[in-house]
Amino acid sequence: MTAEEVRVEKPWGYELRWAITDKYLGKVLHINRGEALSLQYHNRKDESILVLTGTMVLDLEDDAGVLGHHRLGPGDSRRIYPGRRHRMTATADCDVLEVSTPDLDDVVRLEDRYGRC
């Protein structure tokens, strides 16, 4: 890790924040097999993800408000717009590149298996 990188332990794995500016935030999310992030949405945060390694299921709300289930593997990417419910669940150990607006505290948790709602 460089001096700018920050590793944050999470119940599902960890995130490595590798770029933190007033305009954008870059992270690598390491999600352990069988673990899941919260079902959540963001009021302002706009994010794009790219699966680097492993496989996952992305639950992502569509334009009609329906939560779809998308199997993603290396090279697959998605954009997650503000207000859209979403959750990532690793089906194998998974590394995900996330680039977003720098809204670190903008998360509304709807469901969370680790009791963080």
Which pTM was predicted?
0.93
Report the C-alpha gap between 85 and 70 in whole angstroms.
13
Residue 56 confidence (pLDDT)? 99
User: What's the whole-number mean pLDDT along residues 6-13?
Assistant: 98
Q: How many CB atoms lie within 10 A of CB 79?
A: 10
Tell whether 24 is covered by a domain: yes
CATH number of the domain that residue 83 is part of: 2.60.120.10
Residue 3 confidence (pLDDT)? 57
- Domain with 103, as residue range(s), is 6-111
Angle at 42 between CA 103 and CA 70, to 5 degrees: 120
List CB contacts of 67: < 8 A, sequence separation 6 or more: 59, 60, 61, 85
Tell whether 117 is covered by a domain: no
Tell whether 49 is covered by a domain: yes
Q: Is the pLDDT of residue 4 over 90?
A: no
The helix/strand count (H/E) of the chain reads as 0, 11
User: What's the whole-number mean pLDDT along residues 15-21?
Assistant: 96
Q: In what order do the strands lie in the sheet with 47-53?
A: 6-10, 13-20, 25-31, 94-100, 47-53, 77-80
Tell whether 33 is covered by a domain: yes
Tell whether 116 is covered by a domain: no
Report the C-alpha gap between 52 and 97 in whole angstroms.
7
Q: Is the pLDDT of residue 112 over 80?
A: yes
Q: Is the pLDDT of residue 86 over 60?
A: yes
Tell whether 1 is covered by a domain: no
Residue 87 confidence (pLDDT)? 99
**Domain count within the chain:** 1
Residue 1 confidence (pLDDT)? 60
Tell whether 72 is covered by a domain: yes
Q: Is the pLDDT of residue 68 over 80?
A: yes
Tell whether 61 is covered by a domain: yes
User: What's the whole-number mean pLDDT along residues 101-116?
Assistant: 96
